[in-house]
Structure 1
């Protein structure tokens, strides 16, 4: 009787050890699955400012307006960088002002929020950006503008663009702060303020 009990105990130990070994073997042979993380496209640096005009509402969204102008320019969201979308009121009509650029050109569009008709647009080559590396840069332009508007912050600057005026590269800067609209023309090489304007902000 004792021998029978002893054999049953030994048999139980052998079965348990076999199960543990099998589990360990299965765990060690399990292949590790690699998770492929799709790179998320970084959002574009787009500033959107909207204030509803009295008794007026846009019939198309800014997303649709962006799509219309990019298609018109022969671009898409992968080949264009939209830097600004503003809604303005002109002659009691709400319009979108959309500024963007590709690797080779700058674009500036005005599009009606009522049906998406393109009211005006301009296109300018960005060759001047490549040909001269001595420009002071947007960061310095921001410092100059903020130095002239007490209390304003970088978030109050709504536009900085570079242009050629009489063969002179210049920055055009615009800031909206404390109910006022500030516009600056700055020498792109020396940083001198060539022109400045201040007016009551009433674009919306």
Structure 2
């Protein structure tokens, strides 16, 4: 109800609460036949009583309309974005007035929920629970974006902080290592218009606008197709290289390189746009093992991972020859990291075949850091260990203490992996390097305007590292 309508109703209520009936009563009296003294009617007490009633009625009307207005007016708009995008309209008492799914995935998340009238933190807990149940926040690289839009930026910031704590607690209780991103946004008509026209949440629209401010050549439609993780990483890195190919295209490139189709494999792609080179990590799961690929985020070129894996698939019985169990591999990784299992969030153990070897890949997060181990299933050897954001934290365990292949074999391995012939490269360098008794070949060369760097295990010929820089 507009303020003008409210004032008009109050004025009408006061005018009609105490009617002046004196003129009507006198007019009903007939003419007098004798001279008499007309004593005017006195109603001071009645007028006071009517006036009091009028004031009381007005106060009741004001309070009632104010209460209705406060309870039904949108004070804040809260957005939750993963891939499903959900928008909650909230009143000043932090109760949900409406919960709107903004895409098909969000409709599945909200299916069967009636959140209208519920307290905001209860509604958010229910939504996070549904996201976990449907597998959107079970990976260590997953992220959820919480956005709060409000005319009162201080209130938006307070609500943002409160909801971040609520979501973090829910994820920790579920042992999820997903990251929580958040932002407070001042109400903006232009931003609201962008969100409506593109069918986006206000939070994702704000993220897109930030990225466009860094690179104005990027179109809204292209950015809208990206996940919140990709948009946040673009914002962090400046978005100078343009629009990345996206998860679907990266997965398609990996599957084609592996000689697989989407019907024979299950895949998941994680953006690593803030690393050099920017790439997507694509995990491919098949009936005969799991495989990992790195795909350039802008060219779509496969940087690492086995080609045509169906022709080199290990026998089905190979898994039974593993010397250690998943539980033992988990214990080895946690012990090496010095982390208690109760403190390891998003703990995952997966079987992975690589160059005919079976590994256990162990991932977890603690104290804001991500850990990733590869444990050789045959004997429990730590093949590699990485901690996100700290390249010098751990030495690689994968290099051998013996030299079984020569430089020519290492060169052939690197060129074959790159899909190049010896005549197509320039500046080729190959050096045998020893570190703590472990030997590997470090190889560098250039081709097609790009620089290639490889590390080849001197004992097995395994590709330990493959990087391509522009």
CA pair 186-128 structure 1, distance change in 2 beyond 3 A: farther
1:176 and 1:201 in contact (8 A); partners too: no
How far is 1:63 from its partner?
A: 1.8
Q: Name the TM-score, length of structure 2 as normaliser.
A: 0.27
Q: Report the number of matched residues.
A: 157
- 1:55 match: 238
How far is 1:55 from its partner?
A: 0.6
- 1:184 match: 373
Q: 2:314 aligns with which of 127, 138, 141?
A: 127
How far is 1:182 from its partner?
A: 2.7
Q: Choose between structure 1 and 2: higher strand proportion.
A: 1
Runs of 5+ in structure 1 lacking a partner? 1-41
Q: Distance in 1 between matches of 2:330 and 2:280?
A: 24
CA pair 126-43 structure 1, distance change in 2 beyond 3 A: farther
Largest Rg, 1 or 2 = 2
- Over the aligned positions, Cα root-mean-square deviation in angstroms equals 4.0
2:245 and 2:297 in contact (8 A); partners too: yes
How far is 1:79 from its partner?
A: 0.3
**3-state DSSP of counterpart to 2:238:** coil
Q: 2:258 aligns with which of 73, 83, 99?
A: 73
Q: 2:249 aligns with which of 38, 46, 64?
A: 64
Runs of 5+ in structure 2 lacking a partner? 1-133, 143-228, 392-470
Q: Choose between structure 1 and 2: higher helix proportion.
A: 2
Aligned ranges 1:24-43 → 2 under 5 Å: none
CA pair 60-172 structure 1, distance change in 2 beyond 3 A: same
Q: Distance in 2 between matches of 1:74 and 1:43?
A: 27
Q: 2:295 aligns with which of 88, 91, 111?
A: 111
- 1:155 match: 346
Q: Which runs of 4+ in 1 moved over 3 A?
A: 46-51, 104-107, 123-126, 134-148, 151-154, 159-165, 167-170, 183-187, 192-200
- 1:94 match: 278
How far is 1:70 from its partner?
A: 1.8
